[in-house]
Structure 1
Amino acid sequence: MTEKFQVGQIIEGTITGVKQFGAFVALDETTQGLVHISHITHEFLANIADAVKVGDKVKVKILSIDKEKGKISLSIKNALPPPQKPQQSKPKPKPKKEVPIEDFENLMKNFLKDSTDRQTDINKRLNNR
């Protein structure tokens, strides 16, 4: 494995193979790495063939280098800026809390009693003039 690659480095490579679990990327004539399907795009990707195909040129970030096993882990999504989040619209109003019927009946009884008492007071004041 060549010493010219370092973890964190972003380089251009070519897709050389596509499997369900990821894509193989040639970094140079003798060095190849793997981009796991979870590192292809920022969004969920069910089918890797929807995003890349053999022969595509891609920018990749080197995530890890295992010299003993001769494996390089790569990421396409980490080599790109994250997508901008859409502006959030106004928050939706919370649904009004439902009042149990017993509480509603009590509220109405109290309201009617208060209303009747006020009307009685008003009538007394008017008659005392």
Structure 2
Amino acid sequence: MTLMAGNILEGTVVNITNFGAFVEIEGKTGLVHISEVADSFVKDIRQHLTEQDKVKVKVISIDDNGKISLSIKQASVPKRTVKPVEIDWASENKKSTNNHNTAGFEDIMSRFLKDSEERLQDVKKNQDFKSRNGKKS
């Protein structure tokens, strides 16, 4: 198989550095950057790979100088997608209106309004008291 971008091949890890791993494929060496090793964050590449490991890699690119960029995470089988749950919102709305939550909400609102009115009256009385006492000084 010729070396082309998009191909998935098996290679051997020949060297590991802090920034990635060099993998030999078809007699040539390419680099798997540390960000292309796994789906999750990789702090230490040596926790994921060791020299002489056989790995599947995807050829990301080959530049004009012959440098080969590889990816292990893109070569892995894509994760299964989860089908979203379908919700019948019409029946959900009927359930919530049939509950006594609306009466509870109205009670809460009426108590809130009553408390707010009482507090507002207290504030007004306090301001009146301060303004009358301030003028006498």
The question of a shared fold, defined as TM-score above 0.5 by the shorter chain, is answered with yes
CA deviations on 1:63-114 (whole Å, 9 max, x unpaired) are 0001x312000000000024457899xxxxxxxxxx9xx86722789xxxxx
Matched residues, number = 93
- Aligned pair partner of 1:11 in 9, 12, 15: 9
Identity of aligned residues (%): 40
Gapped runs of 5+ residues in structure 2?
A: 85-108, 120-137
**Shift in alpha-carbon separation, 1:103–1:36, aligned structure 2, 3 A:** farther
Off by >6 Å, runs of 4+ in structure 1 = 85-88
> Are 1:22 and 1:37, in contact at CA under 8 Å, matched by a contact in 2?
yes
**Coordinate RMSD, CA, aligned:** 3.0
TM-score by length of 2: 0.59
> CA–CA distance in 2 between the matches of 1:55 and 1:87?
39
TM-score by length of 1: 0.62
- Aligned pair partner of 2:18 in 20, 42, 52: 20
Q: Secondary structure at the match of 1:58?
A: strand
> CA–CA distance in 2 between the matches of 1:10 and 1:16?
18
> CA–CA distance in 1 between the matches of 2:26 and 2:114?
75
- Aligned pair partner of 2:38 in 21, 38, 41: 41
Q: Secondary structure at the match of 1:17?
A: strand
- Aligned pair partner of 2:69 in 73, 86, 105: 73
Q: 1:17: Cα distance to partner?
A: 0.4
> CA–CA distance in 1 between the matches of 2:40 and 2:114?
48
Residue 61 (structure 1) aligned with residue 36 (structure 2): no
**Shift in alpha-carbon separation, 1:13–1:104, aligned structure 2, 3 A:** farther
> Larger helix proportion, structure 1 or 2?
2
> Are 1:61 and 1:75, in contact at CA under 8 Å, matched by a contact in 2?
yes
